[in-house]
Chain A
Amino acid sequence: MMFVVASIAVLVSMALVLARAILGPTLYDRVLAGNSFGTKTVLLLGLMGYVTGRPDFLDIALLYALINFTGTIAILKFFRYRTMAGSMDDMRGQS
């Protein structure tokens, strides 16, 4: 029962984060919304394993956390450097 209540709480917070991603207003709100939605997915997967009584998929949830982290880094790198394969030369036009 405890896990069901926790899952519902996570689902409610997912709805709130989704609202933030839709409403914005700034770019960083949406990046943060995407990132925290990934975190909520990890939590929900963990809880769902215990709701069904088979917590075998916890490692999958952990891998989602890794994907989420890498994805956020990729998006932010994109907005910094404007290219995917470009060098991470931070001094461009700055000195």
Chain B
Amino acid sequence: MADYQTTLSPILIIDLTLLALLLVCAVAMVRVRRLFAVVMLSGIYSLLSAAFFVSMDAVDVAFTEAAVGAGISTVLMLSGMLLTAKREKPIKTGRAPIAMFVCLIVGAALVYASIDAPAFGDPNAPANAYLGKMYVENNWADTQVPNIVTSVLASYRGFDTLGETYVVFTAALAVMLLLGIATERGGKKKLDARAMEAQARREYLEMQAEKERVISGGND
């Protein structure tokens, strides 16, 4: 087998810059205490990784990442944030060195494992050498599904997709129960009409006050 070499190209520079921005974004998400900023940063993180996935030619993954990461989970995180505090509590740093140590070990193990993986886009890699070819050649005889991507997802990897569906269904159910999306008051206690109106008025005034405070600035 001939060696496959990746070359230094403009797209590599873009990749490296995107990864650097991802790192900055991740560190900022850990450091910032204001939860709204963390939610916005996680949306930005998803957009960055989606751009990165596109440059790695994984357009479908990138699309899912942008729709779920930047779209839905931002809204879910915000609705979760409304049920809790606006700021993260300061945490005790007593066990931080142990956690850091575990993270470093796991990261080093993953990097070590990635050394053995075939280079990006290597035509001799098992996935490119015969697996993809096998799907293309045998698809019609095996499944009679005209779209190969559909047949791989729903037939060749049918059980995998079924398991994924279970996971997504369970997660959606848990999120709906936690946030009370289907309830009228968004999971809050329902009061009688007059009290509800009074509370709505109170909330609105609070919100106005907060808005003015925010616009006047400098609260972070």
Contacts and interface: CB of A to CB of B under 8 A. Distances in A.
A48 B15 CA distance: 10
A60 interface: yes
Contacts, number: 141
Interface residues of A, number: 46
Interface of A: 4, 7-8, 11, 14-15, 18, 21-22, 24-28, 30-31, 33-34, 37-38, 41, 44-45, 48, 51-52, 57, 60, 63-64, 67-68, 70-71, 74-75, 78-79, 82-86, 92-94
Contacts of B186: 82-86
Interface string B42-62: 011001101100110001001
B204 interface: yes
Nearest to B27: A22
A26 B40 contact: no
A48 B54 contact: yes
A59 B50 CA distance: 15
Contact of B79 (A11, A15, A78): A78
Interface in B12-68: 13-14, 17-18, 21, 24-25, 28, 32, 34, 36-37, 40-41, 43-44, 47-48, 50-51, 54-55, 59, 62-63, 66-67
20 contacts: A4-B13, A8-B14, A18-B24, A21-B37, A22-B41, A25-B219, A30-B36, A34-B40, A44-B51, A45-B51, A48-B14, A57-B54, A64-B66, A71-B71, A78-B78, A79-B207, A83-B185, A84-B179, A85-B186, A92-B204
10 closest pairs, A vs B, by CB? A93-B204, A83-B186, A93-B201, A4-B10, A30-B40, A22-B28, A41-B47, A34-B40, A25-B220, A24-B220
A26 B25 CA distance: 18
Given A30-B36, A34-B40, A93-B204, 20 more contacts: A7-B10, A11-B17, A18-B25, A21-B44, A26-B214, A30-B37, A37-B43, A44-B51, A45-B54, A48-B51, A67-B67, A71-B43, A74-B71, A78-B78, A83-B185, A84-B181, A85-B181, A85-B183, A86-B185, A93-B200
A80 B219 CA distance: 20
B90 interface: no
Interface of B: 10-11, 13-14, 17-18, 21, 24-25, 28, 32, 34, 36-37, 40-41, 43-44, 47-48, 50-51, 54-55, 59, 62-63, 66-67, 70-71, 74-75, 78-79, 82, 179, 181-186, 197, 200-201, 203-205, 207, 214-215, 217-220
A11 B16 CA distance: 11
A16 B69 CA distance: 22
B59 A60 contact: yes
